[in-house]
Amino acid sequence: MSFGFGLGSGLRALTAARFGMQVAGNNVSNANTEGYSRQRVDLASSLPFTIGNGLQIGTGVDVRGITRLVDQGLERRLQLQLGLVGAAELDQSRYDEVESILGEPDEGLSNSFEDLFGAVGQLRTDPSDRALRGGLVQAGNSLAQNFRLASERLGALAGSTFDEVRGLVRTVNQRAEAIAQLNAQIVSAEASGSDANDLRDTREQHVKEIAKLMDVRAIERASGSLDLLVGGQLLVAGDRATELQTGKDADGLTRIKVTRGTSTLQVQQGRIAALLAQESGKLPKLMSRIDDLARNTILEWNRIHTTGMPASGPFRNLTAAYGAIDGDGDGTRGDELLSQSGLPFTVQKGALYVSVTNTATGAMDRTRIDIDPNAMSLADVAATLSEIDHLNASIDPTGRLRIDADAGFGFDFSPRLDPNPDSVGTFGGKSPTIGSSAAGPYDLSGQTFPVSFTVATSSGTNTVTLAAANFADPARATAAELAAAINGALGTNGTAREVGGRLVIQSSQGGSSSTLQLANVGAGTALSALGLSTTTATGRDNALAVSIEGAYTGSENQEFTFVPESNGTIGQTTDLRVRVLDGQGRLVTTLNVGRGYEPGEPLDLGNGIRVSFGAGDVSATAGNVFTLDALADSDTADLLVATGMNVFFLGSGADDIAVNPELIGNPDRIAASITGAEGDAGNLARIVDLRARDLDSLDENTIEDFYADIVGDVAFQTASAGAAVSAQNQLLDQLLADREAVSGVNIDEELLDMERYQKSYEAAARFLSVAQEMMDTLINLGR
C-alpha cells in the first residue's frame, strides 16, 4: 500500500485544507472586486484500495478543481438589464437637458409670448405712443432670440450624438479586443486542465460593460472561448475582434457599421441605442414642433401685419424682404412660377386686394388680383399691379418685388371698408348710367353674331358690335368680357365696367342735361339678353352720396351688391327699398330708404357695417348698382407673407426668426391700424384676437396652448424617464442581489470556511504525526 499507516490520506487532507484556506482567503481579498465571482474548492473522496477479505480502505480526499459559483441564466438577464438601465439613464439625462433648454416656467418662451401679447395690448391703448411701439419691437425681438436660442441648443444637443456614439463605440472596440485576448488566455489555461476563474470574471465584466452600451449576445464554445454578437453581426470570434466604425448616412444621422461591412448595425438596447433613438426620432420631433410653432407664429402674425397700415398711412413705396430664385438658370429672377420661386412660405391660390388712395381727397379705389401660383410668376404679379392706375411694380435684380405709387397717391392691402363705395357713380353719380338687371354670366348663344347696338350720349352716338370671338363661351359671357368689347367702341364718350358681376355703361358727361340711351341695331336683341334698359337715363347736378361706417367682423370675405327695388327718391318715395345681395346673389337684407328715412342716417347691415344714403334719386330701371368689399382677409393667397412685404417677423422657423430691421429702426412702421386714421388700433385688435384663435396647423390649438403642450409633453417624458430609471434600477438591484446571493462573497461564511479548513489542516497534521509514530514503533520492533 502507498504510504503505510494512512500517510497518503493525511497528505491529501493537508493539501485539501491548504487549498480550501487559500481559496477562502482569495474570496475575502476580492470581496469588493466588481464582477468577481465567489470560488470554491471541489473535493471528492479518492479511490480506495482493497485488503484481504475484500475490505476497502479509503485513501483520503482529492482536490478535483476550483470553480466559480455562477448562474449563467442570471448573468444573461443581468446583461440585458444593464442595457435597459443604460438607455433609461441616457433618456433621463437628455430630457433633463431639454427641460433646462426650454427654461420653463421662469425664462422660457411662455414668458416671451406673454410679454409680446402684453406689449400689443399696451400699444392698443395708445397706438401713437412711440415708447410703446418700441416696447412691442423689443418684445418681438426677445421672443425671436429665445426661439433661436432654443433651436440652437436643441440642435447642438442633437448634433452631439455623433461624438458621443463615436466615443462609446471606441469603448466597445477596446473591450471587444480585451475579450478576444482573454479568450486566448482562457483557452490556453484550461487546455492544460486549469481553471481560469479570474480570467473568466474579467471577461464577464467586459461583456457587461458592453451590454450597458448596446445589446450583446454571448455564445460560449466548448473550448471556453466566448463569441459576441451585436446587432446580428459578429464582434468577437475566438481571439479575433472586429472593429466597429461610426459614420453618418445620407440624412446626416449617426450609423454604426462593422469594418469592411456594408450593412448598418441595428442597435436595440443600451446607451448607444438610446442616443440613436434620440437623434433620429425624439429630438427631431421636438425640434420640429418648436419649428412649427415659430413658423406659424411668423405666418399668422405677418398675415395680420402685412394687411394693416402704419402710422404714416398708405405706402408710397414698398420692397419685399424675400426674392425669387433663378430656378431655370436663365439669369433672370422672378420669371419662375410662384410655386417654384423658392419663397419661404407657400403662395396659395387666392386673391390679393390692393387699395390705391388719393392722398389729397382720400378717395380709395380697390382692385382684386386673383393669384394662381401654378400659372403666375412674380413678374406676372408685378405686371398685374402695374395695370392698376397710379401704381408701378417691378422685380429688382435680387428677385424682390417692389411697388411704387405715383406722386399724390398711396397704396395698402388693408381690409378696411371703403367709406365711399360708389366713387365711380354707378348708383347715384352725376353721369347717367344704365346697368344690367341681373348679374352675369349672360347667355348670348341665341344671338346671330356679329350683333350691334348703339350707345347715345350727349357727346355723340357710338355703335358697339359684339363678335363671338369676344367671349370664351358666348353662352356664358361675363361682364368683364362685355366691358372690354364695349370700351373698344365707346372711345371717350363713355365707359363700360363690371360692377358686382353686372354690366354697367356710363356716359362720360355729367349733370342734369346729360343723357344716355341704348338701342338695338336692326333685329338684334343683345340689350334684352344683357338685361339693359332702352329707356333714356339722365344725369344729375349733385351726386347721391353713399357712405360706409364701421369695421367688418365677418369670418369670410364678401362682396355685397346694392340695387334699388324700384325707382324713387331717397327719404321721400313710399316703400323705396335697396336690396343687398352677397357674392352668390343671395339676399342678405333689404334696407328701407323711402318715406321716413332721414338721408344720411346709418343703417345696420350686420357684421359691424353701417351704410347711409344721401338725398337723391335711384332707379331700378336704369340698373343703378354699387358694390362693397367686406374683407376678413385681404390676402387669401399669402403673397405678402411669402414675399415679405410689410412683415413684422422675418425668417421661416425657429432658427432664423427675427424682427424686421425696418421696424427696429423705425417703430412707426408697425401696422397698428386698419384705416390709417389717428388713434385707430384695429390691426392691433386683430393681433390680440390671434392670441385666442385655434389654428388648424397647430392641431386646433392657440399659439400659446401649442407651446404649453410641448412643455407638458417634455415634462411628461422627463417624469416617465425618471420613473423608468427608478423601475429599471429596482429590477437591476434585485438581479444584483440575486447574483450576490449566488456569486457574491460573504465574509462571515468565508471566515467560517477558513476556520473549518484550519481545523481540518490541524487534524490532518495531527493524524500524520500519529501515523509517523506508529511507523517508527513498527520499524523499531523489527530491529
590-606 confidence digits (pLDDT tens): 999 999 999 999 999 99
4 pLDDT above the threshold of 60: no
Q: Which helix H or strand E contains 43, and what residues bound it?
A: strand 39-45
User: Looking at this protein, which amino acid is placed at residue 492?
Assistant: T
Residues 546, 670: Cα–Cα separation, whole Å: 32
Strands annotated E in 525-586: 537-538, 546-550, 558-564, 568-569, 577-581
Give pLDDT tens digits for 477-496: 999 999 999 999 998 999 99
Taking residue 591's Cβ as centre, other Cβ atoms within 10 Å add up to 21
User: Phi, psi (5° rounding) for residue 760?
Assistant: -60, -40
Residues 425, 217: Cα–Cα separation, whole Å: 89
Q: Which helix H or strand E contains 13, and what residues bound it?
A: helix 7-29
Average pLDDT over residues 644-658: 95
Q: What is the DSSP letter of 545?
A: P
What's the pLDDT at 261? 64
Burial class, 206, CB count within 10 angstroms (exposed 0-12 / middle 13-18 / buried 19+): buried
Give pLDDT tens digits for 737-782: 877 777 777 888 878 888 888 888 888 788 888 878 888 787 887 6
Taking residue 389's Cβ as centre, other Cβ atoms within 10 Å add up to 9
User: CA 91 → CA 164, 560, 711, distances in Å?
Assistant: 14, 59, 16
pTM to 2 decimal places:
0.82
Residues 495, 498: Cα–Cα separation, whole Å: 10
Give the cell for residue 512: 342734369
What's the pLDDT at 10? 80
Helix ranges (DSSP H) in 539-648: 639-643
Find, among 136, 142, 160, 134, the residue nearest to 103 by Cα: 142
Q: What is the DSSP letter of 483?
A: H
| Mean pLDDT over each residue of the chain, to the nearest integer | 90
User: CA 263 → CA 247, 271, 568, distances in Å?
Assistant: 12, 21, 88
User: Looking at this protein, which amino acid is placed at residue 371?
Assistant: I
Residues 262, 253: Cα–Cα separation, whole Å: 16
Share of the chain above pLDDT 70, in %: 99
Report whether 662 contacts 139 (CB < 8 A). no
2 pLDDT above the threshold of 60: no
Which residues, in sequence order, are bridge partners of residue 463?
A: 454
Residues 123, 129: Cα–Cα separation, whole Å: 7
Residues 648, 499: Cα–Cα separation, whole Å: 35
Average pLDDT over residues 495-514: 95
Write the Ramachandran bin of 284: left for phi over 0, alpha for psi from -120 to 50, otherwise beta.
alpha
Residues 626, 363: Cα–Cα separation, whole Å: 15
pLDDT band at 61 (very low <50, low <70, confident <90, very high): confident
Spatial strand order of the sheet with 502-507 comes to 433-435, 502-507, 494-499
Q: What is the DSSP letter of 635?
A: B
734 pLDDT above the threshold of 60: yes
Per the listing, cell 436663365 goes with: 330
What's the pLDDT at 1? 41
Find, among 697, 717, 715, 722, the residue nearest to 289 by Cα: 697
Give pLDDT tens digits for 695-708: 999 999 999 999 99
Handedness of CA 575, 578, 580, 584 (dihedral sign): positive
Residues 730, 80: Cα–Cα separation, whole Å: 14
Burial class, 647, CB count within 10 angstroms (exposed 0-12 / middle 13-18 / buried 19+): buried
How far does Cα 478 stand from its chain's mean position? 43
Report whether 517 contacts 537 (CB < 8 A). yes
End-to-end CA distance of the chain: 22
Residues 371, 388: Cα–Cα separation, whole Å: 15
Report whether 61 contacts 13 (CB < 8 A). yes
Residues 529, 451: Cα–Cα separation, whole Å: 11
Give pLDDT tens digits for 14-56: 888 888 888 888 878 888 888 787 878 888 888 887 776 778 7
What's the pLDDT at 547? 96
387 pLDDT above the threshold of 50: yes
610 pLDDT above the threshold of 50: yes
Which residues, in sequence order, are bridge partners of residue 361?
A: none
Find, among 136, 305, 350, the residue nearest to 645 by Cα: 305
Report whether 298 contacts 652 (CB < 8 A). yes
Give the cell for residue 633: 382677409
Give the cell for residue 83: 442595457
Q: Which helix H or strand E contains 217, and what residues bound it?
A: strand 216-220
Residues 305, 299: Cα–Cα separation, whole Å: 10
